[in-house]
Amino acid sequence: MSELAIQVDNVSKQYQIGTAVSRHNTLRDHLTDSLTSLFRRNGRPHPTKNTIWALKGVSFKVKHGEILGIIGRNGAGKSTVLKILSRITEPSAGWARICGRVGSLLEVGTGFHPELTGRENTYLNGAILGMRKAEINRKFDEIIAFAEIERFIDTPVKHYSSGMYVRLAFAVAAHLDPEILLLDEVLSVGDLRFQRKCMEHAKQLLKRDATVIFVSHNMFAIKAMCNRVIYLSNGEICLDGSADDAIQLYERDSRLGTAPWAQALVGADPSQRPIHITDVELLNEEGTPGTVFAYGERMRIRIHFEASRPVENPNFNVTFMRSDNVSCCNYNTTMDGFLIPSLCGKGVIELLTPPIRLVSELYTIHMMVWDTEFQRLYSAQVGTTFHVRHQVLSPHFGVFHESAEWSWGGTQGEAPPPPVGRGNGS
């Protein structure tokens, strides 16, 4: 058997966007189609107004028993790579070869029928992935126990939450005993405990010389799982190297970029907006720069901006996003009673947070500028990352911890102690 589990050679993938078939099949149309096909066969991406190249000349090799991480911003081409390796779609140019039995988890509920029960879909999805009925029978109890849906196994999956879908889909794919396992960002739908359980299972597969390709926006998971990482940008490989180098490049390129959800509203280029963020500084309460903050510490966030024309009543927003893309808290000038009549030119605005009560995790700062009614969005950009440090509080405790007031009634015949006041949560 070849030492290579996966080989991708000069793969490009072109998609049509907003195109319609021409009503007039003229000689010119046929010549155009022929030339387009020629360019594709020669592996030379040739852009047109109605096409987009999701991948451009991507090449890499993965050995048996290796785990490869693929990272990049939204639209970089990560999922397209996995779809080509899973034979869901074909490349427009180049080729890919896989050697081994493939299990993949690319989209929630792929291969599931909503009207069938979890039990029935386990057999259906297992058959789609190439498992024989006898094999599914043998592993059925193990699959359901791993998915943690024993109580709902005979419930139609249309009543499942997205997390239940993911747990069952991963359990089936992983217990296929694949020689190659392809995992997309879909795992982020599950809770953190189940994500860790999946990663541990993937590590067990590696011990059996399986090969894993792992796509994620969660840099903690990438660093924990992968020694080698590919960083994709605009469909091309920018780096194929260590996890630390790839993550550093990813965070540098993502800094002050447009938030993916906002591109359709404000465009991809921040400099073309009425106002945009040019820099962001992260400091402690005394003004010392830092990226690690203790639970209960206050933070200063200094935002540098430039308004190309007067912006009336701008409403600056700062959101802390956890590493699994959960929005944890938001501060904005309007709701905090800090009204700004008008801005034009360059300037700086600073936020001093209350004591941070978020649990210990990695967070990313997202910055937006709205109007005061939250109706018009001027800018939405991704800033820098920071850690909150606490010895005990983790995401298992939720998003934040704020000390409550407790009292005790005592047992019959005993006088209760005085009410206990607020603590500091540490």
Per domain, the residue ranges of the chain are: 4-19+51-254, 260-397
pTM over 0.85: no
Q: Which CATH architecture has domain 260-397?
A: Distorted Sandwich (2.70)
Phi, psi of 325, deg, nearest 5: 65, 25
CA 397 to chain centre: 22
pLDDT tens, position by position, for the chain (426 residues)? 578 999 999 999 998 865 444 444 554 455 455 545 544 445 555 555 578 899 999 999 999 999 999 998 777 899 899 999 988 899 999 999 999 888 777 765 566 888 999 999 999 888 887 788 999 999 999 999 988 889 999 999 889 887 788 888 888 877 877 889 888 865 555 566 777 777 788 788 888 888 999 988 777 778 888 889 999 988 999 999 999 999 888 877 777 888 878 888 888 777 788 999 999 999 999 999 988 899 999 999 999 999 999 999 999 999 999 877 788 999 999 999 999 999 999 999 999 999 999 998 888 899 999 999 999 999 999 888 888 988 888 777 888 998 899 988 766 666 666 655 554 544
d(CA 128, CA 323): 33
Given CATH 3.20.20.70, say whether it is the number of domain 4-19+51-254: no
